[in-house]
Chains A and B, each alone.
Chain A
Amino acid sequence: MFESALEALQMILNPEHLLWLFVGVGLGLILGLIPGLGGITGMAVLLPLIVGMDPASGIGMLIGLNAATTIGDTFPSVLMGVPGTAASQATVVDGYPMARKGLANVALGAAFTSNMIGGIIGAVALFLLIPVARPIIVGIGSPQLFMLSLLGLCLVVVISRGSLAPALITGLLGMLLAMIGGASMTGDYRFTGDVLYLFDGIDLAVLAIGLFAIPSVLSLLVQGEAVTKAMPYTKGGVLRGAREVFRHKRVVVGNSLLGTALGIIPGIGGSVIDWIAYGATKRVVRKDRDNFGKGDIRGVIAPEAANNAKDGGVLVPTLMFGIPGSATAAILLGGLATMGVATGPTILRPENLYLIFVFVWTLALANAIGAIASASFAGPLSKLSLLKPYSYAPFLIVIMILAAYQSGVHWGDIVTVVILALLSWGMQAIKWPRPPLIIGFVLGQGAENYLWISVSRYDWSWLTQPATIVIGVLVIATLAAGFANGSGWLAGKVKSILTRQKVHDA
């Protein structure tokens, strides 16, 4: 094994391989910077280029691009409050308020350091998990995945403040939106009316751009003011942010491990993992929990660490079983097949072991290079927060509408994104939390498939499986805790019942 690791290291330090890795990282950073254009676009563009390429170089370019996209997307998230990709939404919650306080460079420094540490932990976890992941993946069946999806939706309870009902409404609305179009298991169409565009359903990219990106840019334009008027740490802000990460070691390491673990579960994806990391951190930390959402650096560290760490986790089912854990992993799988790299159990054969190490080294190196390159640009780019929005915001609107069009190459995408943007702006005004909507949307599609498979395979007996019951209890407990912390009549009732129970127990 040690020999394989050395062989792989030798391969990736080859100048040609490094060059392709740098190309991938560079392109990934650019794509991450442009809101709406994520890693999928880049992967799709690079796919034809890797035909006939040496596998190590091809892997370097694709993995480099994928890792760097989740680093570069932090720039718009922090500086403009516009998620660079769907996977960096949770970063905006605390990153943007930090920018408004003039701490954009500190937030970026913390984010990139978390990206690097998370990415490296993810790479190490990939190496450690490959031999032992089989029982984990095989042990999690459709019933458990369905219940985990419901648990994920219940995280709205954790991340939402105030009354729980609007959060649940938007979460369920997201799930209902995910039901539009063809049911993947039966092929029947539903809730489409006679609108041809709806037959394919609504795309996640269109929803994310319409829900968060355009309203944020419009708000900046309406305000007409720079994000901040002054930056207290014009020098050394990035390093200060990096130091903050080491001050919150548990947050960064804990979320890196969480991101890796969630990445292993196929279908969850970065757009949900960042929220889970954010919600879990907010729930777990004891000190100054109320600062979350107001510019708490832990709210930047947690999702950023988890986001890059998940790439290592996603590669476990992708390489071991040929099951793509995400959309980008699916394209990666196609790329590997193009280069003649066999995935599945054969990759664990001694003669193929070096390939796993190529992935591990490349992932670690790409995260380090991407984070260092981004950190070097963080200082000058953070000054964007001092600019009046007219200098950049109208251009962003054009780019975002164009990015939305790429999802289905249909005029309906443009109409949908504009309608969603206006509705989302209205939701913001009436204080309906929008994050649960996207979480519901992402989890809804998977949850339905898992429910369908569970019922087909086990009838309704899956409800009595011990693992299902345990997760079900967690779902109920999370909801009850949310109601108890919230406000309103029902919340008061739940609270009083819980209090009475406590007194009774005492």
Chain B
Amino acid sequence: MPNLSVVRLISTGIVFVVFAAAAVISLGAIESPTYWFPAFIAVGGVLVSAYSFGHDFRQVLAGKSVVDGEVTDLGASVSDVSEDGEAQDPSVIRKRVFAWVLWLIALPLLALVIPFFFASLIWLAAVLRFPGGRSWLYTVISVVVFGVCLNILVVLLAIHVPPALLTGWG
């Protein structure tokens, strides 16, 4: 399992590089007002990310975790503990996270070749049937009902539906 403290350290390092690059670009063109504010942000970002990197690095070297503290965040999280206080097996959670990353990427990939409206229906059917474990009957009925409702919304609200980029369909 990747150590999340190390992952955070690496992420801070990457963000430092991003801010540093933005600072170099902005300060290099500081005579133009276009880069005044970006320079201000980028320099601030370099300072804060350097401080954060140093702080986290010392913690990691001391064998302390930097991801155990509480932060103000919102919405559901994979680390949410159920009401009975039982956390799920981390290895199972990891596998599911990986699977859902692939499922999420699969939708736009499918929509590259099939118009999004139909791609989304196929994707939904696959998700409900396989990871969801729903019956074929439930899957077909819910996908058809969703398709009809979506179509009504698309027409009534003049919603744009992405065409298939590779085939040009839709």
Contact = CB atoms under 8 A, between A and B. Distances in A.
Interface of A: 37, 41-42, 45, 80-83, 89-90, 92-93, 96, 100-102, 159-163, 165-169, 172-173, 175-176, 179, 183, 185-186, 188, 190-191, 212-225, 227-229, 292-293, 390, 394-395, 397-399, 401-402, 405-406, 409, 411, 414-415, 418, 421-422, 425-426, 428-435, 444, 447-448, 451-452, 455, 487-490
B48 A432 contact: no
A92 to B, nearest CB: 4
Contacts of A188: 32, 34
B136 interface: no
A223 B36 contact: no
A264 B92 CA distance: 50
B45 A169 contact: yes
Nearest to B2: A429
A176 B96 contact: no
Contacts, number: 233
A430 B72 contact: no
A216 B75 contact: yes
Given A175-B41, A219-B76, 11 more contacts: A42-B157, A172-B44, A218-B100, A219-B78, A293-B70, A402-B120, A426-B11, A432-B11, A433-B71, A448-B37, A490-B51
Interface of B: 4, 7-8, 11-12, 15, 18-19, 22, 25, 32-38, 41-42, 44-45, 48-49, 51-52, 55, 58, 66-80, 82-83, 88, 93, 96-97, 100-101, 104-105, 107-108, 111, 116, 120, 123-124, 127-128, 131-134, 142, 146, 150, 156-162, 165
Instruction: Sort A-B residue pairs by CB-CB distance and give the 7 closest, nearest first.
Output: A216-B75, A81-B75, A165-B52, A430-B8, A162-B69, A219-B76, A92-B74
Task: Identify the interface centre among A80, A176, A188, A225: most chain B CB within 10 Å of its CB.
Answer: A176
Contact of B8 (A186, A431, A434, A452): A431
A422 B38 contact: no
Q: Interface majority SS on A: helix, strand, loop or mixed? A: helix
Contact of A166 (B52, B82, B104): B52
A432 B161 CA distance: 34
B41 A435 contact: no
A214 B127 CA distance: 15
Given A81-B75, A390-B134, A430-B8, A218 B15 contact: no
B116 A402 contact: yes
A146 to B, nearest CB: 10
Task: Identify the interface centre among B8, B42, B72, B73: most chain A CB within 10 Å of its CB.
Answer: B72
Contacts of B158: 45
